[in-house]
Amino acid sequence: MLRRFFPIFSRFCAIRSYGPALVAAVVLAAGMVAGTPEAWAAGDAQSDPYGLWAGRLVTDQGSCPDQQDSVLQIDPDRLAFTPGTGVLTLRGRPDKDHKRFHAQLMMTDMNHHPLPMVFEGHPDGQTITGEFGTPSCRAHVVLKRPEGHALDNFFGR
């Protein structure tokens, strides 16, 4: 009966009579290996910071991009923080012991004055707590691993 619903499967089975049993064994093994998405989630932020982190900026002073989530992506040799607008990306390098995450972007405004943008974060249990600042904005943020990306976080993507 399974061959009727999965005709391509029977083409790959050497012995067709084992097809349904093989499908059941593969599905069972995949379920045992994969577990649940919670099992895929990585550890705490200091011991395993790699992957994506997201959270909404909370404005402390000025006008900040707090309408959408900000994203922090940490790789072994680089990190990138994108504030809520998603237009600009601050870049940096994680320190070796993962106690501090610093990213910055230096631009110039219309009057050719420096316009620094800085993100400074640190691990705080299962989250990364940070501050974002520009000359016209001061905000804090709590970044968590996105729930829909548990497998990406497991593989450090």
How many residues in the chain?
157
Q: Taking residues 119-131, what's their average pLDDT?
A: 96
Task: Write down the pTM of the prediction.
Answer: 0.68
**Which tops the pLDDT comparison, 154 or 14?**
154
Same domain as 65, residue 20: no
Q: Does 128 map to a domain?
A: yes
Strand, coil or helix: 68: coil
Model confidence at 28: pLDDT above 50? no
Output 103 or 13, whichever has higher pLDDT: 103
What CATH number did the domain enclosing 79 receive? 2.40.128
96 and 55, same structural domain?
yes
39 domain-assigned: no
Structural domain total, the chain:
2
pLDDT at 103 over 90: yes
71 found inside a domain: yes
Range(s) of the domain holding residue 137: 51-155
- Whether 74 is covered by a domain: the verdict is yes
The Cβ of residue 137 has, within 10 Å, a number of other Cβ atoms equal to: 18
DSSP string, 129-141: EEEEEETTEEEEE
Q: How confident is the model at residue 85, as a pLDDT?
A: 79
Residue 22 is predicted with a pLDDT of 43
Nearest to 80 by CA among 91, 88, 64, 68: 91
The predicted pLDDT at position 46 comes to: 86
**Is position 42 within any domain?**
no
